[in-house]
Structure 1
């Protein structure tokens, strides 16, 4: 995975000026296109803290297990208001054994990359985008590239 300093740098780089339903659609479809180009089969979810789903897509052949991964990754990103990759790397730097969730309830949270909070300047976290189905690093990279594409539009 990426190191902590790089993940922290990404977090500030990815802050948006606004984020609405149209932006969620653009972001989700951009991530889907990136996954297609990379030959990755993933599920994509963008939701608000209230649970309102702004975008959802899944490639054929994926299992229902990914629903659980999406829920637990997004819960981690909402709880810490940081990417799940960054939280996972910080936990590892504290010596938490691989596969452990420490004090976090493993039924509710998972330490794995692939969920990034959508932060809007002046508003804070307004949503979380989650990708699951590839490796943690690939899931995270798809989101980062998607947000960069959205910002550049």
Structure 2
């Protein structure tokens, strides 16, 4: 496997706890998507962004420089998060730390499930996994970091950061 950005599985689990949302409804999903889009526009990033509640696509934006292939990546990342309830980066790092082939371990194909950064679970305090934030278009570590930044900004706007 390629780079994991120096992440550890324990650090990524802690990150998920810190990024737990107070709640998540359609308006929140749109706001998360708008934050990601605004960061992408401000920084001239060639990204596609999607926010889903379950399998329902609530928000999608493809910015200049992104391609149709980004949707293939988004769908593959979404399947991993919905299956495992953790970020795609966590799944990648955890598999590497344990020395296992994630796809073989889960009897899944890389063509359908991508353990590349950029798929982040939208976990709420009361309901657990409620949705997924998906970013594609940058090197996968940067996709993940941008997602973390988006959720951090969303929580800051809600007054939820410790």
Counterpart of 1:76?
80
Displacement of 1:55? 0.6
Structure 2's unaligned 5+ residue stretches are: 158-162
State whether structure 2 residue 27 is matched by structure 1 residue 25.
Answer: no
TM-score by length of 1: 0.91
Counterpart of 2:103?
101
Mapped to 2, the partners of 1:131 and 1:64 lie a distance apart of 13
Counterpart of 1:14?
19
Counterpart of 2:148?
144
Q: Is the 8 A contact 1:35 1:142 kept in 2?
A: no
Counterpart of 1:47?
52
Displacement of 1:62? 2.1
Counterpart of 1:66?
70
Give the one of 125, 142, 149 matched to 1:121: 125
Give the one of 5, 8, 11 matched to 1:3: 8
Mapped to 2, the partners of 1:110 and 1:69 lie a distance apart of 7
Structure 1's unaligned 5+ residue stretches are: none
Mapped to 2, the partners of 1:52 and 1:8 lie a distance apart of 25
Displacement of 1:142? 1.1
Mapped to 2, the partners of 1:11 and 1:90 lie a distance apart of 14
Distance 1:109 1:139, change over 3 A: same
Compute the RMSD of aligned alpha carbons.
1.5
Displacement of 1:61? 3.2
Deviation string 1:66-104 (CA, Å, 9 cap, x unpaired) is 11100000100110000000001011112246xx73332
SS of 2:86's equivalent in the other structure is: coil
SS of 1:149's equivalent in the other structure is: helix
Mapped to 2, the partners of 1:147 and 1:27 lie a distance apart of 7
Count of residues in Structure 1 that have an aligned counterpart in Structure 2: 150
Mapped to 2, the partners of 1:82 and 1:114 lie a distance apart of 11
